[in-house]
Amino acid sequence: MSPRVLAVSLGRAHTFKKANQLSIRLLRGLGVEGDAHMGEKVKHRYHVARDPDAPNLRQVHLIHAELFDELRAKGFAVGPGDLGENATTTGLDLLSLPRGTWLRLGDDAIVELTGLRSPCKQIDAFQPGLMNAVLDRDAAGEMIRKSGVMGIVIAGGDVLAGDPIVVTMRSGPREPLRPV
């Protein structure tokens, strides 16, 4: 199956969940129109407290729907928008993509991946034990963060559920995604 957008969501306030929409509009250099995390400067409360003038590397949050299947198998009830993502994808291993990868969502919108989302304690307030379920360790003991990837908007456009995703990797060395 080729990669596609399964669902799109936005949240006008700083709440954990985001409401599913028929479409979202990505704005170049800003993020999702109407979303609480939209802007050139960092909007996440934790990051604002540390440095309110830092660039917003978390304009768009994407999660792979395959994570929801994994979580459901562990007894959690999760679906699109529940973990605060703007775009739920399917058919694409988001976590394996390198930093700087471009994802074209639909006809026009392009998101450049900047890093991994680190889950915060709010995830356990949503469903107890969920924090541990979205964290894992690889064979070398390194932390695996499964709660999605973050990106910035390179080209704006409307994104709808069902839209195709085209992946473009930069040439040269590939840098793994790190938490942002």
44-48: which pairs have CB atoms within 8 A and are 24 or more residues apart?
45/14, 46/120
**Could you give the domains of the chain?**
4-168 (2.40.33.20)
Q: Is the pLDDT of residue 44 over 90?
A: no
Q: How do 87-90 and 60-64 pair as beta strands?
A: parallel
- pLDDT of res. 121: 82
- pLDDT of res. 122: 87
Share of the chain above pLDDT 90, in %: 89
Q: Which pair of structure tokens corresponds to residue 79?
A: 């679906």
- Reported as a pLDDT band with limits 50, 70 and 90, residue 46 is confident
E strand spans, the chain: 4-10, 19-21, 23-27, 31-32, 60-64, 87-90, 102-105, 109-116, 135-137, 143-145, 149-155, 157-160, 165-168
Region 108-127 average pLDDT:
94
Cross-sheet strand order for the sheet of 60-64: 19-21, 4-10, 87-90, 60-64, 149-155, 109-116, 102-105, 165-168
Q: Give the predicted TM-score (pTM) of the model.
A: 0.96
The whole-chain average pLDDT of the chain stands at 96
Region 7-34 average pLDDT:
96
- Reported as a pLDDT band with limits 50, 70 and 90, residue 82 is very high
How far is 3 from 62, CA to CA, in rounded Å? Answer: 13
Do residues 57 and 115 touch, judged by C-beta distance below 8 A?
yes
Q: Is the pLDDT of residue 7 over 90?
A: yes
Q: Is the pLDDT of residue 42 over 90?
A: yes
- pLDDT of res. 1: 78
Region 15-19 average pLDDT:
93
The partner residues of 163 in beta bridges, in order of sequence, read none
Q: Is the pLDDT of residue 141 over 90?
A: yes
